Every structure is written in structure tokens, then in C-alpha cells.
Structure 1
Amino acid sequence: MSSGTEHEERFRRIYASNFQPLLAYALRRAAQPEDAADVVAETFLVAWRRGHEMPADAEVKLWLYGVARRILANHHRTGLRRERLGERLRHRMRAAVAADPGSEVPERLAIQAALARLGELDREVLTLTVWEGLEPREVAMVLRVDPAVVRTRLSRARARLRDLISDDLAPPGHVLDVLTAPAPKEGR
């Protein structure tokens, strides 16, 4: 019998006699049954890869429990990191939404409709300047046009937007204050 065959046969015996006890161990310690199944699968993967390190058959069960225990600890740490990352992302998302001028005005749909009626270049110049806080020279770089074109388009887009938004939005000027905020000064 070759060494590879002996390794496979031993692994099969160990797997058959230890699968159920390891699964029960993992189920009692994991948050979800799926996590327990992952722990058992990873434990036997380690056993397969490190078969030469496994102790004699009488002690292999304890060795497998030790491997499963470390894998459970890793899963727990990974879960905590995932939760912390999720909380940081949720916090950043709330901050980003709160900073979005479109979410601060009750007339958001009216603004979107008015913006949709602007030409594509005018709309892009206006939103890049006001919402993204880019300077006209930066907008010009993004759009690959001359900065003078951006300044002219920005002035026209603001005037056109004022005309498109009806006077019956209350309070007067509220929407326009957000959309026509002064453009950032260019650093020269």
C-alpha cells in the first residue's frame, strides 16, 4: 500500500469516526448552523493538509477539537471585524446621505425634474460644481472642456434652473439656496 493510499484510508477513518462529534461541538459554539458546518469543513481540511502532524489515532479526536476551537475563534474574530466594518460603513453612509444637498430639501423631486430638463453638459457642470464641490478648472478637467466654457455654462445653468423651478415651492429661495450655493473659489 502506498503512502498516499495510507494517508487517504487513515483520513477516511478519522473523518467517519469524528464527523458527528465535531459537528455537535461546533453547533453548540457557533452562532449559526451554517457557521458550524464551515468550522467542521475547515477542520477536516486542516486534517487533510496536515495529516503528517496528526497524532496517533487515540489522540486524534483531541487534536481535531483543538483545530476546531482555533477555527471557531477565527470565525468569531472575523464576525466581530465584519460587524465593526459594517457599523463604520453604515455611519459613513448616513453621513454621506446627510451631506447630500438633494436629501436636505423636501422638493427633491422638483429639483430632479428641473435638472433633467437641463442639457447634459449644463446639468453636469452644475452638479459637479455645487454637489461635488469642484472648482470650475477641476470641472473643466473632468469634462475635458475649457474652464471658460465651464464658467459660462455654470452661470447659464443656474439661471435656467431658477426659471424651471416654480415659484410655489415653500419656503421661497430654500431650494435655490442649496442649488445656487457659491462655487468654491479657485486657488490660483
Structure 2
Amino acid sequence: MTDHDGPVPAADPAGRDRAWFEDLFTAHAGAVHRYFLRRAPRDDVEDLTADVLATAWRRRADLPEGHELPWLYRTAGFVLANHRRKGRPVPVESLPDDADGEYAADPADLVLADAQVSDALAALSDRDRHVLMLHAWEGLDGEELAAALGIGRGGAAAALSRARARLRSAWDERVTA
């Protein structure tokens, strides 16, 4: 049996069939979409989100049980990096357009409207910003942050601690300047 997505497996040994994917999509597509809204040009968000979800379908056997969202965020980071390598200008971190009001109530988004916070974040490395945003925006900590970064839990805790210290230092430089 086939459809527009290609052959549909009769039964995936891990139980990861179309129903599994629909559940994954329902649970996490919005989070992946918001991830890109904050990091990519608005015109590209739908395509980037679709790329991540298509990768999840193709590599469904690789998704760790119970850590699907961190895996999706990690994949989203790779998709965004590939997108940036294609030469498209991408802002460091994009504040979502609040014209539709869909995400404007998120305090993490509103904080970026503050010029001092934006300047402090811009002073950080891409890696530090990525770690902080996964923690602050996406709410990842502990095992989930480690899975999204592709490192151990101790390494993730250390990366978060270092990124916070560098943000604190960048903040102090801006408010005392």
C-alpha cells in the first residue's frame, strides 16, 4: 500500500507506525514550530518544521523512547545549521511577530524585547545561546537538555552553568557601562 508519502509499512517492529507518528506530531509539532519561530526567518518556519518531522518519520527507529522532544530539538538544531550554511540570512534569535498574538504572552519571548537582554545574549557564543534558549524557552533541563545537546547529563549541567555565568558577566558589563 502506498500514499503520497511513499510506502506505508504494514507494521513497524517497535510499534512506530502512522498512528505513533500522528501522536508524535500532535504532541510536539507546536514546540518544534515555536523553536523555529524564535530562530529562523518567519517565511522558512513551516518548511524547517516539516523537515524535522519528516526526519523523525524516516528515522523513527532512532527516536529514544521518552525523549522524543529533545531528539526533535537536536534534529531541529541540525536542520537550522544546514539552513544557515545555505547562505540565508538568519537573525541570532528572532522574536516572534506578535501580530497574531499566538506566542506573545510567553515571558521568555517578551524579555528579548529588552535591548539590554538582547545585547547580553548577542555577546554570547552560539553554543551558549543555544544552551540557554533550550533551557529557558523550551524548558529543557537535566536528561532532556543532555539529550538535545547530544552529551551526558553532567556535561549538560556544566554547559548550562557556564552559559549562565557568561550571560551574567555579559549582563554586568552592559548595566555598568
Same fold (TM over 0.5): no
- By relative contact order (CA 8 Å, sep 6+), the higher-ranking structure is 2
Tell me the TM-score normalised to structure 1 length.
0.39
Tell me the TM-score normalised to structure 2 length.
0.41
* Structure with greater proportional helix content: 1
Larger Rg: 1
